[in-house]
Structure 1
Amino acid sequence: MAVDALDTRILRLLIEQPQTSVREYARILSIARGTLQARIDRLERDGVITGSGPFLSPAALGHPVLAFVHLEVTQGHLDDVGEALAAVPEIIEAFSTTGGGDLLTRVVARDNGHLEDVIQRLIQLPGVVRTRTEVALRERVPHRLLPLVRSVGRTASPGRGQGLSETAPAERT
C-alpha cells in the first residue's frame, strides 16, 4: 500500500498526540474531518494502523524482568509449539526466525526465579528441543515508530493539506 505525504502527517499526529480528537487532527492538518476519517479508515483497512493504546508496562504490572528466549524446535512442530506459546501469559511476543533458533520469544517475569519457571515450562512443551535465554539489562531504544514514519514521509508522494512541520515533539510510541 502506498503511503503518501498526507498519510505520514496523519500517522505522525496519531503517534505524537494520541489522545486528540479527529476534529482537532483535521484542524491541525487543514483538511475536512470526513477526509481525515476516510484516510484513517483506509490506513486501518490496509494494515498500516494495527491498533491503538493503551500501551502497558510489564514492569508496572509486576514483571520487571525481560528476557529473550530462543527455542529450537523439532522439524515439523513449529506451528504446534507456536500455538502452545500462546497459552503462556509471560510470553508477550513470539516470532519464527532464521539463524540459531526456530522461535524467538520476548518473556517477562516477576524475578529471576519466576523466569526460570517460565523457561522450564517452555522446555517441557512437546517439540521444544532446547532453549537459550538472554536477559535484558536495560532498554536502550524503546519501541518506536515515529522515526520510521518520518523517513517514509520524506520519500512519500505529496498529499493535500498543510500541517505538521518536519520538527516534532519527542515520540511516546
Structure 2
Amino acid sequence: MPVDALDTRILRLLLEQPRTSVREYARILGIARGTLQARLDRMEREGVITAGGPALSPAALGHPVLAFVHIEVTQGHLDAVGNALAEVPEIIEAHSIAGGGDLLTRVVARDNGHLEDVIQQLISMQGVVRTRTEVALRERVPRRLLPLVTAIGRAASAPGRGGESAQPSPPSG
C-alpha cells in the first residue's frame, strides 16, 4: 500500500525531529497516539521505515576516507563474494549492480594506506577478478530523504488523489 498524505506528514516529522516521543508527534500532527502508532507499525511492516537507530559518522569514528569500490566477480561467485564482503568491517554498504562491474561497495578507512589494505583484502577474495576505486573528496549532498518525502506528500495531496490538502510548511534552510 503506498503512503498517503498523513503518512508523508509523519515521515517528514520523523526526519525533521528524530528525537521526539510518539506522544509529542501525535500532538504536533493533531492525531490520536493510537492512530500514529498504527501508522508507524504499518510503515515498518511494509519496509517504508527501515531503521530506528542513530545515524553514525564514520569520519567521527576515525574513518574519514570514503571510497566507492567497483568489484568485478567471476561468474557464479556473486553470492560467495557478497558473503565475504559482509565480513570486512570497513565495507559499510554493498550492492549488486548492472553496468560496469558486478558489485559496488562503499568503503571507509582511517587513511589512504588503510584504504589500500582494504582493497588488497578485496582483491585477494576468491572470485574477485578486479576492482576499480573512486575516492570521495567532499560530500556535496548528504544522504537525505526529506525532499523525496516532501515530493511524495505533494503528489499524495494533489487533487484527485484523495489525500489531505493541508501540508506542513516546507523546511527552512
- Range into which the TM-score falls when normalised by the shorter chain: over 0.9
The 8 Å contact of residues 7 and 159 in structure 1, kept in 2 or not, is answered as: no
Partner of 2:136: 136
Q: CA deviation at 1:11?
A: 0.3
Separation (CA, whole Å) in 1 of partners of 2:133 and 2:165:
49
Separation (CA, whole Å) in 2 of partners of 1:43 and 1:141:
26
The 8 Å contact of residues 73 and 128 in structure 1, kept in 2 or not, is answered as: yes
Other structure's SS at 2:115 match? helix
The 8 Å contact of residues 73 and 130 in structure 1, kept in 2 or not, is answered as: yes
Separation (CA, whole Å) in 1 of partners of 2:18 and 2:12:
9
Q: Percent of aligned pairs with the same residue?
A: 78
Partner of 2:170: 167
Separation (CA, whole Å) in 2 of partners of 1:87 and 1:165:
43
Partner of 1:74: 74
Partner of 2:24: 24
Q: Which runs of 5+ in 2 are unaligned?
A: none
Question: Which residue identity does 1:22 align to in structure 2?
Answer: V
Q: CA deviation at 1:114?
A: 0.3
Other structure's SS at 1:140 match? coil
Partner of 1:95: 95
Q: CA deviation at 1:135?
A: 0.2
Output aligned runs, 1:16-165, within 5 Å: 16-156=16-156, 157-159=161-163, 165=168
Partner of 1:12: 12
In the TM superposition, structure 1's runs of 4+ consecutive aligned residues that sit over 2 Å from their partners are 157-162
The 8 Å contact of residues 29 and 161 in structure 1, kept in 2 or not, is answered as: no
Question: Which residue identity does 1:154 align to in structure 2?
Answer: R
Separation (CA, whole Å) in 2 of partners of 1:84 and 1:169:
43
Q: Which runs of 5+ in 1 are unaligned?
A: none
The 8 Å contact of residues 91 and 106 in structure 1, kept in 2 or not, is answered as: yes
Separation (CA, whole Å) in 1 of partners of 2:43 and 2:74:
38
Q: TM-score, normalised by structure 2?
A: 0.94
- C-alpha offsets along residues 29-85 of structure 1, whole Å, 9 cap, x if unaligned? 111000000000000001000011311000011000000000000000001000000
For the aligned residue pairs, the C-alpha RMSD in angstroms reads 1.4
Q: CA deviation at 1:167?
A: 1.6
The 8 Å contact of residues 72 and 103 in structure 1, kept in 2 or not, is answered as: yes
Other structure's SS at 2:68 match? strand
Q: TM-score, normalised by structure 1?
A: 0.94
Q: CA deviation at 1:166?
A: 3.0
Q: CA deviation at 1:18?
A: 0.5
Q: CA deviation at 1:100?
A: 1.0
